[in-house]
Amino acid sequence: MSTLEKIKTQISENPILLYMKGSPKLPSCGFSAQAVQALSGCGERFAYVDILQNPDIRAELPAYANWPTFPQLWVDGELVGGCDIIMEMYQRGELQSLIKETADKSRAAE
């Protein structure tokens, strides 16, 4: 499986997916830590990929996503954005509703 196929599979199989540096329990950068904090505040489970452990994904995802930085939040197959966008949406209450709707839809489909 090519790196691009792996990325597409991860995005399609995980309704809420964060590409980040480190893990939710041990983020390796401040931006990833903020993103995890906002997502955790939404109260739903989310998947993550540690790009430090996956240099191939770290190299190819920015071109695929047309987004140069990490973290990257993908919801329902769509790129939501990076840390600044995640934090703005969280502060406005938009992230919580987006995450809850996606999680509910995902549970209903199971």
**83 labeled binding residue:** yes
Tell me whether residue 21 is annotated as binding.
Answer: yes
Q: State which amino acid sits at residue 20.
A: M
Q: Is 58 annotated as a binding residue?
A: yes
Residue 19 is inside which H or E element, if any?
A: strand 16-20
Burial class (CB in 10 A: 0-12, 13-18, 19+), 44: middle
- Please check if 45 is assigned to a binding site: no
Residues contributing to the annotated binding site for glutathione: 21, 58, 70, 83-84
Residues contributing to the annotated binding site: 21, 29, 58, 70, 83-84
